[in-house]
Structure 1
């Protein structure tokens, strides 16, 4: 199993999918405990949710599970949200603070270094290459990082999350037009709630690549799984009816992002 799956397109938009993969090498799986083997914190069906919404889009998808190593964490191990509960580069617990490794089988520093080389770095090498390729074609690239999470995770945040969680690191990772357009579409989506730079301000991927001055814009979308799953509990089944309603708005978001990017290639202002 290769650590990353890439589908190249001609659009200025790139979809990042760091957390939909479920591959766990046997040598890692045998060290997970019963809770860990459930792979509960997967971004269930997010790749399916976005499939076909924007013609010509490039996708870069990690095939490995985030319990192997988290492709959306700083490779140095530095926390994205200092002072707040979160999970690390190689998580010790799940999103409910339950241990995921058998006692005595927790990953070592050597394990982390090996997984960085085998999984994390290949994913980001592929993502960086696609950003460079797309920017060379269009003069601009937009990375839209696709995520989902259970709507209620008391260990990570209080209460219930909005359905659309838009992250731009407080406006640093993209031109204002992108953030405004996405927020406006979400605000107008009947029956859904949204927030901009709330609990999720964009992970390491968004913050690392989003450099508007270099004509690379990045925005993270964290969806609640209640918006497209039949249940946020195992077996995390996809709900085609819910997904169809949600996809109307996601398609509008991607189409609008592409239009803004295209206006930049023709000399317009964001």
Structure 2
């Protein structure tokens, strides 16, 4: 256990990672940030609450305590852009999704500060992620990793118009077996719209840990926040959330079923 994340154990070969669920900002970082930074507006709000059924299903979960504004756990520590040629947020973001500054003038994190954040926050999370996958692979043989995210349904910085409800990413089919993708594509998630490898193809975690040749299958879900929040606020709408959780659980059950060796 580490002070920067929470890992819960299960009894099947599946792990749900929620890298953008955290909201905390250490005081020494917060002191250099704008009010927009303090508001952590780009949090994947309530992902842990949406997936609260996972524990009863025997699924392992990994959740950070600190905000993506401290460091983005779904980016390469090298700082390489996630989507070449597109607008990308950094390993340690300096602007919010609406392009507002996160730091006071002259207070953007230095290379030395970024290195420190990698050591303090990024590395512990990824060590736990890697160790858990190794444990699950040894114990169960086949493993599924779900990287769980959510985002506002409209973010002009990254895409035009309205985002589909369920945005699945598998690094263009390289992070998991086609057989698993076929199962997911056959799911009826009505009334929600779905897309595979559209604007979101899976982030660093999906790409780095998905290893279907080694029977570790990774998939990312970017869920539109319009399915459970009163957008543009981050107010949790219980009625909408309960409705989408029915289909979310169906999707997760499909992943869990795939962990069983046939």
Name the TM-score class by shorter chain.
over 0.9
Alignment of 1:85-234 (within 5 A): 85-185=87-187, 188-233=188-233
SS of the counterpart of 1:143?
strand
Q: TM-score, normalised by structure 1?
A: 0.94
Deviations 1:134-192 (A, max 9, x none): 1111111110010000010001111111000000010000011222222322xx22221
Distance 1:237 1:6 in 2: 26
Deviations 1:108-151 (A, max 9, x none): 00110000000000000001111111111111111001000001
2:82 matches 1:84? no
Q: Across the two proteins, how many residue pairs are aligned to each other?
A: 260
Distance 2:189 2:175 in 1: 24
Distance 1:156 1:260 in 2: 32
Contact 1:166–1:195 (Cα < 8 Å) also in 2 = yes
Q: Unaligned regions of 5+ residues in structure 2, if any? A: none
CA RMSD of the aligned region, Å?
1.1
SS of the counterpart of 1:35?
helix
Contact 1:229–1:239 (Cα < 8 Å) also in 2 = yes
Out of 253, 261, 268, the residue aligned to residue 251 of structure 2 is 253
Distance 1:9 1:232 in 2: 35
Moved more, 93-102 or 217-226: 93-102
Distance 2:60 2:163 in 1: 29
Q: Unaligned regions of 5+ residues in structure 1, if any? A: none
Distance 1:35 1:21 in 2: 16
Give 1:218 shift.
Answer: 0.1
Q: TM-score, normalised by structure 2?
A: 0.97
**1:22 aligns to what?**
23
Distance 1:228 1:133 in 2: 33
Contact 1:166–1:183 (Cα < 8 Å) also in 2 = no
